[in-house]
Amino acid sequence: MPIKTLSLTVDEEKAGRIDLIVRDLAGVSRSQVRGMFDHGCVSVNGHPCKGIAGSVKVGDVVSLRFDPHQRYREKKRTWDDRTFSVVFEDEHLIVVDKAAGTLTVPTDNGEPNSLVDRISIYLSHSRSQKEACVVHRLDREVSGLLVFGKHEAIAKQLIEQFKQRKPQRVYTAIVAGVIADDEGTYHSHPATGSNLGRYVTKPSRDTETAITHFRVVRRMADTTLVEVQLETGKRNQIRVQFADAGHPVLGDPRYQAKRASHPFWVRKRIALHARSLAFTHPVTGEEVQFESPLPSAIQKFVNAAR
Full-model pTM? 0.74
Reported as a pLDDT band with limits 50, 70 and 90, residue 10 is: very high
Contact 222, 177 (CB under 8 A): yes
* pLDDT of 127 over the 70 cut: no
Q: Which residue intervals of 97-169 are DSSP H helices?
A: 115-124, 152-163
Contact 140, 98 (CB under 8 A): no
Contact 275, 154 (CB under 8 A): no
Reported as a pLDDT band with limits 50, 70 and 90, residue 128 is: low
pLDDT one-digit tens code per residue, 74-123: 776 666 688 999 999 999 999 999 999 999 998 877 777 899 999 988 88
Contact 201, 304 (CB under 8 A): no
* pLDDT of 145 over the 80 cut: yes
pLDDT one-digit tens code per residue, 166-208: 999 999 999 999 999 999 999 999 999 888 889 899 999 989 9
Q: pLDDT at position 111, please?
A: 77
Greatest Cα pair distance, the chain, in angstroms, is 81
The neighbouring-strand residues paired with 159 are none
Mean pLDDT of 114-133: 83
Which is it for the CA torsion 289, 292, 298, 299, positive or negative? positive
With pLDDT > 70 as the criterion, what percentage of the chain qualifies? 96
Q: What average pLDDT does the structure give for the chain?
A: 91
Length of the chain as a residue count: 306
More confident residue, 81 or 222: 222
Reported as a pLDDT band with limits 50, 70 and 90, residue 53 is: low
